[in-house]
Chain A
């Protein structure tokens, strides 16, 4: 410790600011990983089908309720709850694609977008009718241990969310980059019709894309339940839109862009909440969206789209 009083004050101030920054960074990472997980689903579906899946935020919400059911009613353990929820959400995603989106694949784009909006509202109102409008408490799947490290406060839940999201995203990225299915997905985003001539089963690839996207959204649903332990049928709207902004910021259609966008948006939101009244939070997120769309619509990682004659 320095003996000089002034120097000591300065030193102390610096570490306090440093601690605050690390604390905020942890919070931003937690929020950002949730956004990134959901944004991946938007981005992958858009890459393959050129469809903004407006129902994706609500799939995230349904995933949260499915996890609640598995954890409380069936009393599965934490790992089994996560796996079962991912499987159930993947099934739901494939089902939605099969029933609602596949018949419209050759229809005008606007029909598919309206259908996606309809599916989203259906999931909201259906959940509302089944579970009721009141928010429900989400159980603690893991024993929650609070760590205090030199004034920085974190918990086992927070660290699990950050690490597990990172592992899942790296796994997905490797899947898309390394496997044959991943290659087919990337090819599909170049040209749907050409790829089918190469002997790729488009329906299968689209189903896999939906399954991957929705299961990741369901994991995000569990994480939101763990981190902010209350869930309600309308939570998918706002979180879904934020995740969508993350996907646009990163460049919609790009997997790595969606991840980066999620973390960027998480950081900006945490900064906004720390420095401004909390009611400005949504406004700032959407102002960013408008700014990005008007200045660089292809996002940070997306490929620019040129208008063809």
Chain B
């Protein structure tokens, strides 16, 4: 009974959230339409009020928060639940962003964004997931530090390869995408990501992924196919990174190989470990806090970039488990589950 009620409540909240997001999108769209075309019909006071209603700037920050939640949560599957240290998440984001942009710009040039965008999202995710599969099969011969280096090298290679493909714009970047990413799509993708990852983690496959983290040899001894579990985690993680890439590409409408450098990957790492790896709530909280904090610290000018690494160092020394500290945020645990799920110190 409790389970049924909670499920209905969650579905209700998601629908309300989606409706609110669509409403906000429409409001901003109407506002910019009025300001562009009908500004003559308004009095100056009305114009002033209208321009203050909802700033597209805030909407953009909200979308960034959403994209970062997807990135951090997907990295969490590998770094938090599987216990490996992947440092090249931006590579999968890049694959998704370029694949998605190729679909909307190359394949559906004349068709409207509303039709092509969901296909682009899916295509970006699948391309990144497939790329993750290609990478995972040889990479998982190594573990630990070496896997970190492999993923990092991968990030640099992907950036380098894109720079050397003239069809993708090379170092000049790729543009021509419509601004299809809005709050509603972002919200939808965030919910889908969290829902999928939560259900994965609390499923049989998720438990084998966690078993690999706790002790790979012991897991193998009790019959877990550790190789498949690792590859599954990696593919799922890169799939959602690809979706985040498509959202990102259709938000700023211009992608460039330099955007997906190691610095981008480090940003995602900071968000994940700021919130706390190995929990569902950690990366969500980390992405929200990090993105908003960077915006609030804008007054510091160039010094605001000094604050984040300092924050990360202090966090690792004082509270290595992140903000949530290994505790799962209540509503994100299925009712059947009582045990918290976080990395052990080994």
Q: Which residues of A contact B (CB under 8 A)?
A: 52, 100, 103-104, 107-115, 117-122, 125-126, 128-129, 237, 241, 244-245, 248, 277, 279-280, 282-283, 286-287, 289-290, 293-294, 297, 307, 309
* B316 and A129 within 8 A (CB): no
The answer on a CB contact under 8 Å between B156 and A282 is yes
**B57 sits at the interface (CB 8 A):** no
Contacting residue for A125 out of B142, B146, B306, B320, CB 8 A: B306
CB of A302, distance to nearest CB on chain B (Å): 11
The contact size tier of chain B is 35 or more
Instruction: Give chain B's interface residues, CB within 8 Å of chain A.
Output: 79, 85, 87, 138-139, 141-146, 148-150, 152-154, 156-157, 160-161, 163-164, 171, 217, 262-263, 266, 269-270, 273, 302-303, 305-306, 308-310, 312-313, 316-317, 320, 343, 345-346
A294 x B141 contact (CB < 8 A): yes
Chain A residue nearest to B218 (CB atoms) is A309
What are the residues of chain A within 8 A of B266 when measuring CB–CB?
Answer: 117, 121
Q: How far is the CA of A227 from the CA of B251 in the complex (A)?
A: 42
Residues of chain A lying within 8 A (CB to CB) of residue B164: 277, 279-280, 283
- Say yes or no: B305 contacts A293, CB within 8 Å: no
Q: In the docked arrangement, what's the CA distance between A279 and B145, Å?
A: 28
Contact indicator A297/B146 (Cβ below 8 Å): yes
Residues A118 and B313 in contact in the complex (CB < 8 Å), given A108-B320, A290-B157? yes
- From B85, B154, B156, B343, A113 is in contact (CB under 8 Å) with B85
**From A112, A122, A245, A287, residue with most partner B Cβ within 10 Å:** A122
Instruction: Name B85's contact: one of A110, A115, A297 (CB within 8 Å).
Output: A110
B309 adjacent to A122 (CB under 8 Å)? yes
- Cβ–Cβ contact B153 & A289, under 8 A: yes
Contact A122 to B345, CB < 8 A, known contacts A117-B269, A129-B303, A294-B141: no
On whether the beta carbons of A286 and B148 are closer than 8 Å, the reply is no
List, in ascending order, chain B residues with CB within 8 A of A297's CB: 142, 146
Write out the residue numbers on chain A whose beta carbons fall within 8 Å of the beta carbon of B154: 286, 290
A280 to chain B, nearest CB (A): 7
Residues A52 and B148 in contact, CB atoms below 8 Å apart: yes
Known: A114-B273, A293-B142. A282 touches B306 (CB 8 A): no
**Bound form: Cα–Cα A300–B269 in Å:** 31
Contact of B312 among A103, A114, A245 (CB under 8 A): A114
Shortest Cβ distance from A256 into chain B, in angstroms? 21
